[in-house]
Amino acid sequence: MVGVILQSAVSIQIGIVVAYLLLALGVGLVAYRLTDRTAEDYYLASRTLGTVVLLFTTFATLLSAFTFFAGPNIAYGNGPEWILVMGLMDGVIFGVLWYVVGYKQWLVGKAHGYVTLGEMLGDRFGSSLLRGLVAAVSLFWLFPYVMLQQVGAGGALSALTEGAVPYWAGAGLITAFMIVYVVLSGMRGVAWTDTLQGLFMLTMVWAAFVWVLSAVGGIGPATDALASSNPEFLSLGGGLYSPQWMLSQAIGIAFGVAMFPQVNQRFFVADSEKVLKRTMALWPIVVLLLFVPAFMLGAWAAGLGVPMPESGNILPGLLAEYTPTWFAALVVAGAMAAMMSSSDSMLLSGSSYFTRDLYRPFVNADASDRREDLIARIGVAVFATLAFLASLYNPPSLFVIGDTAFGGFAQLAPPVIVALYWSRTTRWGMFAGILGSQLFYTVTTFTPPAGETTTVLGIVVPGVIETFGGWSSSVVGMAVGLVLVVGVSLVTDAAVAERPSVLAGPTDD
Amino acid sequence: MPNRTTSFAWGTILFVLMALAIPWFLWDSSAVAAGLPVWLWWHIGWMVLASAVFAVFTRRGWGVWMGGWSA
């Protein structure tokens, strides 16, 4: 009997996953029919995304897997204050960056036809080398991050089916589907599937919230249980949560998000200013609607004494306890599909950084639009396949890079923002700011804690300080980058090829 | 075209929005109201406020700091 029930649960779960994959494929095919064979249309859907699509595609791309898994886990283990970090990070700071970085890039991109961040900066500073550097730095952090998504999706599919689908097959299946629909449909298909995904996530989170609360007698009893089991969770701060830590996380991640290729590229895709405006105003509301229920469920699970399941994620455990199998399966499958929606956008952006900023300037400058479009699609397949192969070996070094990717991207923000707003920024200032902050961040992140040593390839590496009075090396690295880009720009002259007017705008005097 | 005063005013408003997104004055408080910690209610109110302020910004402040692009 139990075997039969398990069997049917597994088939429901597999059914839901397969249904999602087919839906994504269908959307991809429709989008393919509407897509011109040019790079601008493939990467940016010819800059025609509307409010709802732009909002959800940015949102689903970014936070999907985190909302369902990592976020509730943090609340379960340390208390729900992470909600405040998310509010500051994604609701407010990112909203402001949406304007400060996003709107400005949108204006510049629209006037000059840029598709990537590197392209914009390379043109402004008259330097293909800078263009290539921005792309290379971005790909260095992006590749392991994509690999982590595949590891997560493969693991989730394997856990979902009780091992009936082995890890490699799960990760491989998802990679193959992603390649097919991303290669076919480009930005338009990705944006449409993301929108479906985002609406689905919101619905699921609220359904889970209502379901669990009605099962335990409402908000009052749930919080009372938490107050008696973990009273420290309800008080603001304490444990992991220090002011420096909360600010470091919020600032480091918000700026990192703005520089993540798949998010930064979305700054170029809005249809009109109206779309950017509406999206900005909706941002805090979406953050509120998604994270308060998801993370409170994680915190309440601690009070309700739900044990952490073997999969290491508390939300599926909580749902298994209080909701019927089909519902828990729906949420878990949705979360898995959500990981795909993060990866597909990253694949697309990764491929565009490669073709636009590395292939075209350094390999084949005369590539036609059609050829570039073809290379872009091949690039997606190659990028996804390599990340899949890497995920089979799970190299620990790649894991560490993927885990610290937000900080790595955040280091790009100060030079980019200074360049966007200060016309005296010089090429040398940009190189110093980017290379200096990347060096600082990688050294402080990848070396062991101060006082310890580690051996890499027979060389003994001494430990370097990692936190600075409670502040993370990501935030301190951003300050280092800021000082370098401003300082070096002040003492160097602009090169002849530099064109400040590219960013300063047509009417600047 | 936004002038220097509006530019400064919007800078201040957006900064305050960021500075108080975490209710520092409720640090260590575990007071609960209507089933949720009071600091969580602050968060809920603050996000609604942020959304309203952003909405006003897009109407009244849009174009500020954009230099040669704001014409």
Number of domain units in chain A: 1
Give the tens place of pLDDT for each residue, A146-192: 888 888 778 777 777 777 778 888 888 888 888 887 777 777 777 77
List, in sequence order, every residue forming a beta bridge with A467; answer none if it has no partner.
Answer: A472
Give the whole-angstrom CA distance, residue A443 versus residue A464: 7
Instruction: Examine residue A256 and state whether it is found in any structural domain, yes or no.
Output: no
**pLDDT-wise least confident of A53-62, A165-174, A199-208, B5-14:** A53-62
Give the whole-angstrom CA distance, residue A91 versus residue A87: 5
What is the pLDDT at residue B52? 97
Contact B1/A at CB under 8 A:
no
Give the whole-angstrom CA distance, residue A408 versus residue A131: 17
Residue B6 Cα, gap to closest chain A Cα (Å)? 16
Nearest to A87 among B26, B46, B59 (CB): B46
**pLDDT-wise least confident of A259-273, A454-468, B12-26:** A454-468
Say yes or no for a CB contact (<8 Å) between A99 and B57.
Answer: yes
Instruction: Examine residue A328 and state whether it is found in any structural domain, yes or no.
Output: yes
Residue A280 Cα, gap to closest chain B Cα (Å)? 7
Give the whole-angstrom CA distance, residue A352 versus residue B7: 36
pLDDT at A363 over 60: yes
What is the pLDDT at residue A509? 45
Could you tell me the pTM of the whole model? 0.89
Contact B16/A at CB under 8 A:
no
Instruction: Examine residue A279 and state whether it is found in any structural domain, yes or no.
Output: yes
Instruction: Examine residue A195 and state whether it is found in any structural domain, yes or no.
Output: yes
Instruction: Examine residue A452 and state whether it is found in any structural domain, yes or no.
Output: no
Instruction: Examine residue A40 and state whether it is found in any structural domain, yes or no.
Output: yes
- Domain containing A193 equals 2-48+60-90+142-229+273-395
Residue found by looking up tokens 């990028």 in the block = A383
What is the pLDDT at residue A183? 79
| CA neighbor of A97 nearest in space, from A267, A235, A298, A341 | A267
Contact A470/B at CB under 8 A:
no
Identify the band that residue A210 occupies on the pLDDT scale cut at 50, 70 and 90. Answer: very high
Contact A303/B at CB under 8 A:
no
Count of residues making up chain A: 509
Instruction: Examine residue A485 and state whether it is found in any structural domain, yes or no.
Output: no
Give the tens place of pLDDT for each residue, B6-60: 889 999 999 999 999 999 999 999 899 999 999 999 999 999 999 999 999 999 9
> Around Cβ A451, how many Cβ atoms within 10 Å?
8
Give the whole-angstrom CA distance, residue A385 versus residue A379: 10
Instruction: Examine residue A166 and state whether it is found in any structural domain, yes or no.
Output: yes
DSSP B24: G
Of all residues in chain A, the one with the smallest CA distance to B71 is A507
What is the pLDDT at residue A4? 52
Of all residues in chain B, the one with the smallest CA distance to A218 is B35
Count of residues making up chain B: 71
Say yes or no for a CB contact (<8 Å) between B69 and A223.
Answer: no
